[in-house]
Amino acid sequence: MTTFLITLVLAWFILAGQDFGYKFWHDNVGIAEGIEKYGPKNRYRHGFADTTREQRFELFSQINHSVHNQGKGLSEITYQTKTSRGQQTLLRQPEIVHLQDVANLIDSLKIVVLLIGISWVFLFVILTKKYRSIPSIKFQLLSLFSLLLFGLVLIILFGPEQVFNILHVWVFPKDHQWFFYYQDSLMSTMMLAPILFGWISILWLAVAITIYGLITLSLAKITEKLINK
């Protein structure tokens, strides 16, 4: 499954470069409607419901850029509309702390991914040089299918929202807030959390599986040529 872990990382950064398709999700999964509904109810910020689509896209892009760059600039993200009573910072301190935790997690995972990548190369060299073979495509696909099926069963048993909450409890510091009501957080409102994350997860998985298939087929051809030399 080392290959699939690598493809997950590749897919993540490909999607991050496209802001995870936020423009599409904003228009098609109820995010725009959620902003219209909950934006005016925010207890700490004003005028967000009057932001334009382009403003929202830019604000999401700034958050995305910051969490992939050690959290830099999170406190400086601002917006202004005719009803915002001047320029407003988008994020409150608890939201900044949470997004900084996300940025720290991404930085930590980069180290893990580097180690996995080195292990993957080492394993490939061993298999091709010493054993002159790699696991068959059929075996790899069956392994991937088993892993995905296991994940699907967990989601069905516990429910996607419960799985989302459990992962947050495991990953983030206990004394740091990660759950925000829409009325208290423009971050949650503009992402319609956790709904947006569900759609992104589906897209992420689809892209990762596609890359996994391409890599698996390519490796099979490369291995065949190396062994037949």
pLDDT of residue 130: 66
DSSP assignment letter at 78? E
pLDDT of residue 141: 79
DSSP assignment letter at 133? -
Q: In whole angstroms, what is the distance from residue 93 CA to residue 102 CA?
A: 14
Whether the bond into 194 is cis, omega within 30 of 0? yes
1-10, 20-29, 194-203: which has the minimum mean pLDDT? 1-10
21-30, 142-151, 172-181: which has the minimum mean pLDDT? 142-151
Residue type, 118: I
pLDDT of residue 132: 64
pLDDT of residue 86: 95
- Answer whether residue 222 shows pLDDT above 90: no
- Answer whether residue 227 shows pLDDT above 80: no
Average pLDDT over residues 64-76: 97
Q: In whole angstroms, what is the distance from residue 146 CA to residue 205 CA?
A: 14
162-204 pLDDT, tens digit each: 888 888 889 999 999 999 999 999 999 999 999 999 999 999 9
- Answer whether residue 134 shows pLDDT above 70: no
Q: Which stretches of the chain are DSSP H helices?
A: 2-16, 22-28, 31-38, 53-67, 93-129, 137-158, 160-171, 186-191, 195-227
Residue type, 200: I
pLDDT of residue 131: 60
On average, the pLDDT of the chain sits at: 90
Which residue carries 């569900």 as its tokens? 198
Q: In whole angstroms, what is the distance from residue 63 CA to residue 190 CA?
A: 11
Q: In whole angstroms, what is the distance from residue 38 CA to residue 56 CA?
A: 14
